[in-house]
C-alpha cells in the first residue's frame, strides 16, 4: 500500500500516516527520526527498522515516582537523547497494531511536537512484507530541544472532567473489550489485574473496542467511511462532539483518540489516561453494569 492508497481512504488528515513503502524509501532521510514504542520490551532488541530508536513507555514517557507523565525537562532530555529538534519529523510505529506508537505520539503532542506521523500498519505490516530488520542500535548526535510546558488541557482528561461529562451526558467512548465493559472481567485476557476493585463502565459510555478501527490482517487503519459507520452510524457520534475516550491506563484509548482526531477530523477528543485503573477504584463515583 502506497501513499496514494492512504490518500484514497478519505481521512481528514491523510498526511498523518506514512506507508511502509514510503518509509523504506526514506530510511536515510536526515529530516526524520523513526521511533519504535512497544508493549513487549524484547521486540526492539530482537530486530527493528534500521535507524529506529526505542522509546519505552514505562521508563521514557512516565514519571518514575508519581503516576503521571514526564515533565518539560524530562521531555527535553528525551528529545536531546534521540537527537531530534522541533523541526524533525518523528515517525512512530510499534507492536499491538500501534497501541504504544499512538500512545507515544499522544505524549509528544502534550509537549507540542506536532511534526509527527504514524506508520500505517506498524511493526506487523513491516514484518509481513519481509522488510529489513536490524539489531544495530543507532546513535545520533545529541540536540538541544526547547519544549513548552506540558499542555494537559487540550487532549487530556482528568477524573473531575470525566465526572462532569457523566453529569452532562456528553459522549464517552470505552475502548476496552466487551467483557471489561460489562464488568465480567477487570482486565484484558492474558493480562494481570492492575488493581481495579470494581468492574463495569463509566455511566453513559458507549462500547467501541479500539481494534475495530484496524484491519486485523495487517494492522492498517480502516478507511474513513468504515470508521464513520462504526463511530457515527452505530454510536451516533458527530465530529463536533466533545468526546472523552478511556480504557485501562490510556494506551488503547490513545489509539481511538488518534483515529477520531486525525483520521475523522473530530475537533475535541481527549484521552482519559487515568481510565479504569483510576475510575474503578475511586470513592463515590458511579459505575454501570448491565
The domain locations on the chain are: 3-128, 159-279
pLDDT in tens, 87-118: 999 999 999 999 999 999 999 999 999 999 99
Sheet containing strand 268-272, strands side by side = 206-207, 172-174, 242-246, 268-272
Backbone angles phi, psi at 93, to 5 degrees: -155, 165
- Of the candidates 27, 217, 14, 22, the one whose C-alpha atom is nearest the C-alpha of residue 121 is 217
Q: How confident is the model at residue 192 (pLDDT cuts 50, 70, 90)?
A: low
pLDDT of residue 255: 98
φ, ψ dihedrals at 259, nearest 5°: -60, -50
**Whole-angstrom Cα distance, residue 213 to residue 210?**
6
Spatial separation of the C-alpha atoms in residues 113 and 109, rounded to whole Å? 5
Q: Does domain 159-279 have CATH number 3.40.50.1170?
A: no
CA–CA distance, 189 with 193 (Å, rounded to integer): 10
Are 123 and 38 within 8 A, CB to CB? yes
3 pLDDT more than 80: no
162 is catalytic: no
Lookup result for grid cell 506540558: 150
Q: Name the pTM for this structure.
A: 0.96
Residue in 18, 244, 247, 259 annotated catalytic: 247
Q: State whether CATH 3.40.50.2300 applies to domain 3-128.
A: no
- One fold for 3-128 and 159-279: yes
* Average pLDDT of the residues in 2-8: 81
Question: Does position 212 have pLDDT exceeding 90, yes or no?
Answer: yes
Instruction: Give 78 or 194, the one with higher predicted confidence.
Output: 78
Amino acid at each position: 500500500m502506497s501513499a496514494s492508497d492512504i490518500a484514497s481512504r478519505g481521512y481528514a488528515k491523510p498526511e498523518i500516516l506514512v506507508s511502509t513503502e514510503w518509509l523504506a524509501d526514506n530510511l536515510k532521510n536526515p529530516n526524520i527520526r523513526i521511533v519504535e514504542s512497544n508493549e513487549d520490551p524484547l521486540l526492539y532488541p530482537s530486530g527493528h527498522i534500521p535507524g529506529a530508536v526505542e522509546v519505552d513507555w514505562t521508563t521514557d514517557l512516565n514519571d518514575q515516582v508519581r503516576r503521571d507523565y514526564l515533565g518539560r525537562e524530562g521531555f527535553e532530555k528525551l528529545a536531546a537523547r534521540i537527537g531530534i529538534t522541533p523541526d524533525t519529523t518523528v515517525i512512530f510505529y510499534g507492536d499491538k497494531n500501534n497501541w504504544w506508537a499512538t500512545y507515544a505520539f499522544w505524549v509528544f503532542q502534550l509537549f507540542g511536537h506536532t511534526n509527527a506521523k504514524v506508520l500505517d500498519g506498524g511493526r506487523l505490516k513491516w514484518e509481513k512484507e519481509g522488510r529489513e530488520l536490524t539489531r544495530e542500535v543507532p546513535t545520533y548526535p545529541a540536540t538541544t530541544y526547547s519544549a513548552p510546558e506540558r499542555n494537559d488541557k487540550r487532549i487530556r482528561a482528568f477524573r473531575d472532567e470525566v465526572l462532569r461529562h457523566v453529569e452532562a451526558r456528553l459522549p464517552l467512548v470505552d475502548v476496552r473489550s466487551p467483557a471489561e465493559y460489562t464488568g465480567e472481567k477487570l482486565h484484558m485476557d492474558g493480562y494481570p489485574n492492575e488493581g481495579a476493585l470494581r468492574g463495569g463502565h463509566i455511566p453513559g459510555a458507549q462500547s467501541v473496542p479500539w481494534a475495530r478501527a484496524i484491519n486485523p490482517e495487517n494492522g492498517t487503519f480502516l478507511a474513513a467511511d468504515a470508521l464513520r459507520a462504526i463511530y457515527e452510524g452505530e454510536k451516533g457520534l458527530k465530529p463536533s462532539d466533545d468526546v472523552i475516550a478511556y480504557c485501562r491506563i490510556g494506551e488503547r484509548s490513545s489509539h481511538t483518540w488518534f483515529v477520531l482526531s486525525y483520521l475523522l477530523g473530530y475537533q475535541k477528543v481527549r484521552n482519559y489516561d487515568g481510565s479504569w485503573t483510576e475510575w474503578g477504584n475511586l470513592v463515590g463515583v458511579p459505575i454501570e453494569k448491565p
